[in-house]
């Protein structure tokens, strides 16, 4: 097992990893930017190294600084968390070249899922259902026109180097295809330095349901059931839950087996997530694979009673997993508490937290790095806490969530708490009657 892990991240996920390391008897090294010198992850780690100025490029994305910090502290592994360098294959490679274990998949596994056209081709070969579309990249406007005619409108154009919704274009009729193709290509080139575009049939009003998987270095792969992440706004998830209210035992079995096939197709090692679109007929289609631990991993932890970070570290150290799959015994919901103003288009609201009261009680978990007096820096993402509730039934988990949200006091900044309070009372949400379009029509009272 590792003796000392450097956490190449900040905020709640850095703290989350430190907590598990402490339980496992592993020493921890925090890295921090000058803007984060008072952050809890710095205080809770055994050692801390400043790696640069506030901007991410100068600190949490600065590979030489992070490797230097690992070398001077003698860390034998690096946990990348999520975001920043978590899916950067060059970083994973450089860690290996320096004799430091990257706690995650190999650079090849990251690359095979990072290019979406390659990932789709791999999934087709493996027998995992993908959204109907054209195989490979679109070569020209003419190619796009011909393909759309075959598939049938509406279609969606996506960047092969994209993911998470960036640079997508939905096209409803032929007259709009030329402009959509040109703008999607230009946007992809500007955002990803790769202008490759592909086409799929546009699935209307889908649900976003993802399957958590784990694979070890010995070829064992299992799934750990699903999370429903349909409650999103501009591709930012706000609420996640497990099990999905749309799930049936039969669908879980089919999606779980498809997810295992997907992970096995790339000999996946580590924890990861297979994202699916699910249409109203319960057809499901592979969308992408996240080769990292995700923000919403906690809902899975609560419903199967399992520490996913501990599992991820053990896998990285070469331990075997059991290879049997896990099914939800409870219902868990996560609300992302962001420093944003839900009454003003969720605009960021950084600043000092003057008063803080954190909820507690039966069935309540709070993962957060903030405290009274903490100043939220404006440089990074706006999530300041995850509030997770767990209960026997979905209805009870929602009621516990509403109770916990109403106990939560955060003064000095605006947060998404008022949004979540209203969502927990929304009739359609309570019925499980929602798709990825739900928040487009949701209005704050």
- Interaction site with ligand MV4 (CB under 6 A): 131, 156, 163-165, 200-203, 206, 208, 232, 235, 277, 287-288, 436
Cα–chain center distance at 291: 9
Residue 292 is a catalytic residue: yes
Instruction: Tell me the closest approach of the beta carbon of residue 288 to ligand MV4, in angstroms.
Output: 5
Q: Indicate the residue among 131 and 376 with the shorter CB distance to ligand MV4.
A: 131
Q: How far apart are CA 86 and CA 102, in angstroms?
A: 9
Name residue 6's beta-bridge partners. 29, 78
The DSSP result for 310-342, as a single string, is HHHHHHHTTPPP-------SSEEEEEEEESEEG
Instruction: Tell me the closest approach of the beta carbon of residue 363 to ligand MV4, in angstroms.
Output: 27
Q: Cβ contacts of residue 57 below 8 Å, gap of 6+?
A: none
The DSSP result for 389-404, as a single string, is EEESSHHHHHHHHHHH
The residue among 402, 415, 235, 399 whose CA lies nearest residue 337 is 415
The residue among 131, 162, 119 whose CA lies nearest residue 266 is 119
Instruction: Tell me the closest approach of the beta carbon of residue 232 to ligand MV4, in angstroms.
Output: 5
Catalytic residue among 207, 292, 365, 394: 292
CA distances from 286 to 128, 154, 247, 272 (A): 7, 19, 16, 14
Q: How many residues does the chain have?
A: 445
Instruction: Tell me the closest approach of the beta carbon of residue 156 to ligand MV4, in angstroms.
Output: 5
**Phi, psi torsion values for 401, nearest 5 degrees:** -60, -45
Instruction: Tell me the closest approach of the beta carbon of residue 207 to ligand MV4, in angstroms.
Output: 8
Catalytic residues, by residue number, are 292
């Amino acid at each position: 097992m590792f003796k000392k892990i450097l956490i190449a991240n900040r905020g709640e996920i850095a703290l989350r990893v430190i907590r598990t390391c402490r339980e496992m008897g592993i020493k921890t090294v925090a890295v921090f930017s000058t803007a984060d010198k008072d952050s809890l992850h710095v205080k809770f780690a055994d050692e801390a190294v400043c790696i640069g100025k506030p901007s991410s490029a100068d600190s949490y994305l600065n590979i030489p600084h992070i490797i230097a910090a690992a070398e001077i502290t003698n860390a034998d592994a690096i946990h990348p968390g999520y975001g920043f360098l978590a899916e950067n294959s060059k970083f994973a490679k450089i860690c290996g070249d320096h004799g430091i274990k990257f706690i995650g998949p190999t650079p090849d596994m990251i690359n095979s899922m990072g290019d979406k056209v390659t990932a789709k081709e791999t999934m087709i070969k493996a027998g995992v259902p993908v959204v109907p579309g054209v195989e490979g990249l679109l070569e020209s406007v003419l190619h796009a026109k011909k393909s759309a005619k075959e598939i049938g409108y509406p279609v969606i154009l996506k960047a092969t180097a994209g993911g998470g919704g960036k640079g997508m274009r939905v096209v409803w009729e032929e007259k709009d295809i030329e402009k959509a193709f040109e703008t999607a290509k230009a946007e992809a080139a500007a955002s990803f330095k790769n202008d490759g575009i592909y086409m799929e049939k546009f699935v209307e009003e889908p649900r976003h349901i993802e399957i958590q998987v784990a694979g070890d270095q010995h070829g064992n792969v299992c799934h750990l059931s699903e999370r429903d992440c349909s409650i999103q706004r501009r591709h930012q998830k706000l609420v996640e839950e497990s099990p999905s209210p749309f799930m049936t035992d039969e669908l879980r079995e089919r999606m779980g087996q498809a997810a295992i096939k997907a992970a096995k197709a790339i000999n996946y090692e580590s924890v990861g997530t297979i994202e699916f679109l699910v249409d109203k007929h319960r057809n499901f289609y592979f969308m992408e694979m996240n080769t990292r631990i995700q923000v919403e991993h906690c809902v899975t932890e609560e419903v199967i009673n399992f520490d996913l970070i501990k599992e991820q570290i053990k896998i990285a150290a070469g331990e075997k997993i059991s290879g049997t799959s896990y099914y939800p015994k409870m219902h868990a919901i996560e609300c992302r508490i962001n420093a944003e103003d839900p009454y003003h288009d969720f605009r960021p609201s950084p600043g000092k937290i003057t008063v803080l009261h954190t909820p507690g009680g039966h069935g309540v978990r709070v993962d957060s790095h903030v405290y009274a007096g903490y100043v939220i820096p404006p440089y990074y993402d706006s999530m300041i806490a995850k509030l997770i509730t767990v209960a026997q039934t979905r209805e009870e988990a929602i009621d516990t969530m509403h109770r916990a949200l109403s106990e939560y006091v955060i003064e000095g900044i605006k947060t998404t708490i008022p949004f979540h309070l209203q969502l927990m009372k929304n009739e359609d949400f309570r019925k499980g009657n929602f798709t990825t379009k739900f928040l487009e029509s949701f209005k704050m009272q």
